[in-house]
Amino acid sequence: MKNISPLSHRKEEPESNTLYVVGTPIGNLNDLSSRAINILKNVSLIACEDTRQTKKIMERYNFDNKLVSFNKNNSYKKIPPILNYLESGDSIALVSDAGLPGICDPGEDLINRAKANRIDVICIPGPCAALTALVTSGMNSSRFIFEGFLPKKKIERIKILLEISESEKTTILFESPHRLNTLLQELKKYCGGEREIQVSRELTKKFEENIQTSVDRVINFFKDKEILGEITIVIKGIEKQKNENFNKIVLREELSELINAGLSLSAASRYLAKKRNLNKSIIYNLH
């Protein structure tokens, strides 16, 4: 294993045999740090989610470099040659279309493989949509959960929605514009129309918008509107006393969803009893 050197003893960046995970703007190109610009200018290669997006940064800051496409559709093919480049002494920058790579994108797999091969991985910090939305919401930022994009599979999606419904921690989600209304209706069903949320879009851009109110009012706000831009949603955690009163409602809903998904009442009750550490008869009698 390589020795870990203090930052003060590091050579001039970029270093050889190093994967740089570079945070790029989530909207406003002025948010790119001078350190990030230096890395992107001088690494051997930039692995980017979409070369067209990265070229906008290069044009804005007037530099050129070699680019290779690296995204969810081709990552399994691109990881081996990228690792070969790194092992041969090259330095490579990994960037996503916006924000920090490795969050809801295949950069996570590349980083894991690089570390498994004892290649240095250094993060060049930058903007993050999840944290930007969280700090502007004013909701509890000391204890929060990031779920990213909810799974499409129904049973997995319902499981997470039920967890959100009874969580005392702030929850952060990503969603695409064309699926926002569907997600809002699901939040109303599982969390209630009065739950406080913030829907943020076009973060850091000219037309940034942060709508913070109840689920019901957010639904009305976006009704019949064309929704554009990537969406970040912050959901306020439930208060402790409300959580205690809410448990039976949530358990009943979860039991019904499991039965609708194909489980028998007995099997669903047994599953929930084990999950919640409760007596099976308590769950069974909720139906």
pLDDT in tens, 119-153: 999 999 999 999 999 999 999 999 999 999 999 99
For residue 254, give the amino acid letter. E
Pairing outcome for strands 18-22 and 91-95: parallel
One-letter amino acid at 73 equals N
Domains of the chain, first to last: 7-127 (3.40.1010.10), 130-238 (3.30.950.10), 243-284 (no CATH)
Asked if the model's pLDDT at residue 261 lies above 60, the reply is: yes
Rg (CA), the chain: 23
Segment 172-184 mean pLDDT: 96
Give the least confident one: 2-16, 37-51, 248-262: 2-16
Block residue for tokens 């989600």: 173
What is the C-alpha separation between 61 and 264, in angstroms, rounded?
61
Q: pLDDT-based confidence at 250, cuts 50/70/90?
A: confident
Predicted confidence band of residue 39 (pLDDT cuts 50, 70, 90): very high
279 — pLDDT class (breaks 50, 70, 90):
confident
Specify whether the CB–CB gap between 135 and 234 falls below 8 A: no
Write the CB contacts of 137 (distance below 8 Å, at least 6 apart in sequence): 170, 198, 200, 210, 212, 234
Q: How long, in residues, is the chain?
A: 287
Residue 274 is predicted with a pLDDT of: 82
Look at residues 122, 64, 71, 60 and name the one whose alpha carbon lies nearest to residue 93. 122
pLDDT digits (tens, 9 = 90+) for 186-200: 999 999 999 999 999
Average pLDDT over residues 39-50: 96
pLDDT band with cut points at 50, 70 and 90 for residue 3: very low
Helix (H, G, I), strand (E, B), or coil: what is residue 77?
helix
Distance CA 142, CA 214 (A): 22
Q: Which amino acid type is present at position 191?
A: C
Mean of all residue pLDDT scores within the chain: 91
> Does pLDDT of 242 surpass 70?
no
Quick check: 157 and 189 in contact, CB under 8 A? no
The predicted-structure confidence for 79-100, as pLDDT tens digits, reads as follows: 999 999 999 999 999 999 999 9
Nearest alpha carbon to residue 27 among 175, 129, 157: 129
**Percent of the chain, pLDDT > 90?**
74
Q: Quick one: average pLDDT of 191-211?
A: 95
How many Cβ atoms sit within 10 Å of the Cβ of residue 10? Answer: 12
pLDDT of residue 1: 45
Query: How many alpha carbons lie under 13 Å from residue 202 in its C-beta half-sphere?
Result: 9
Pairing of strands 209-214, 196-201: antiparallel
Close Cβ partners of 218 (under 8 Å, ≥ 6 residues apart): 184, 197, 199, 211
Q: Is 80 exceeded by the pLDDT of residue 249?
A: no
